[in-house]
Structure 1
């Protein structure tokens, strides 16, 4: 409107020569990437500190928010042993009055985000059987941090009717490393999708998901890659008997690794001190509440990014680390 002029300066970037062997097919590339996880990702037991947040909204209104600092005892990527998680500090803010007659709860807590680590838990999306139920294709390639990245799209085959996933895998072309993945559940059958995610509901209500989406990002340190961040979004619609209007809820969770160190001894917490994959964090947070830990930032700010929350408690997180830990900026 003000007739502004924008001047662009010419800039030339010389790219280094890279020898890339083009894979025979997108499926072959994905299989090779999964096969090489033992050599490309952390091979030592690792103790990670992570910040976790989950929110529940009724349409656009916040109903519940829980945050926690957790210790993740990560096993090597070549190991089939599952990671152990220990709750360090937690807090919550819940207003169930906004939920009407329905108390919506998210089961699984940090495990919802942790199991999105495809390279550690490929069986949840690409196991030996389901791998053949997908079509893989090369999409546009891109460059991230001066590295050539193949973008591989995947979706379930037309003759497969069970709800599977569709999305994109970002793979380092030279080293066959998954650097990121963005995908969602293909909700072709609402009833089947509901059985996958709804554990308990009122008799006079039909609950089914309308959107289930995931993202995972990996980081690199000294030539080895590891889980760095993930998020999950779940949206549900609830139709009540004898009610004209339905209810729409969204549940989201995300987790970011803030520090890590090699767990040389391989120690893991006792079973009684570990979180169960069935945990409901909003209920478990009571026993781990510590206003002194959260300090002056004890007021939960639901609209702030997880990065903003991490920066505010960085000093407390550093105090909780043992010597030799690596801090993630």
Structure 2
């Protein structure tokens, strides 16, 4: 880590094809914890590798439709091969598909000094077939919100420990909570780009690391998995009071749609996730607001003449 193919009829009879129910992972039974993942748990995860076949994994990414992968802009520009449906780091399997990258589109405002707009799209040389092991993730749409404390998941083939420069044999996964912006700004000792969100544990120990860059940070919404972040930067790996920083996917909906003109439109999902405590807080506030509103209505009903007199007096 790094310093059902539906047709929707639109006005004017334009037809837009969207990804068939994105974010499905029928082989995923994860609830809590961090461990080696089982094959097919994260069917959108991809391993991106440079140059010649057999080269080491350099970063992760996520499949967002049959021909496009979302990753980080700071990933090496010499990204040539993408492996989908992979579980073991080097060993192929019958569910695996390999594609060549023909175009890398970094966000036009990407700043490699401050890591702003750290988002990129990779176009594959041909569409990939969907299966239980290869399937596109949903993306958080513009205006989506994920509150502090919500559990998110991240997976990748990155280093498992800071300073240990070896990749794991299999895909690893970990569950970490979203962290509020203010807490993150206090914890991060460098400039925090405004288009980011943070996730991690106060005590450390669970995090992304080198090799996980570009991978997806996802949350569960009903039966679907929705990507809310792209692994971007961080201070070391798994350090206490040092959360990971992720590019916030919901801020890029328009750009992603404009760039992914071939294939089905990526599936965007409106997301508003809170913790149980926040749900209780909002319910309590709504209850007291309703009480206050009812008292106001009763007052106006019983004292309407006095209210009208006061309004007349102030109008004069």
More strand by share: 1
Q: Which has the larger radius of gyration?
A: 2
What TM-score comes out, normalization by structure 1 length? 0.20
What TM-score comes out, normalization by structure 2 length? 0.21
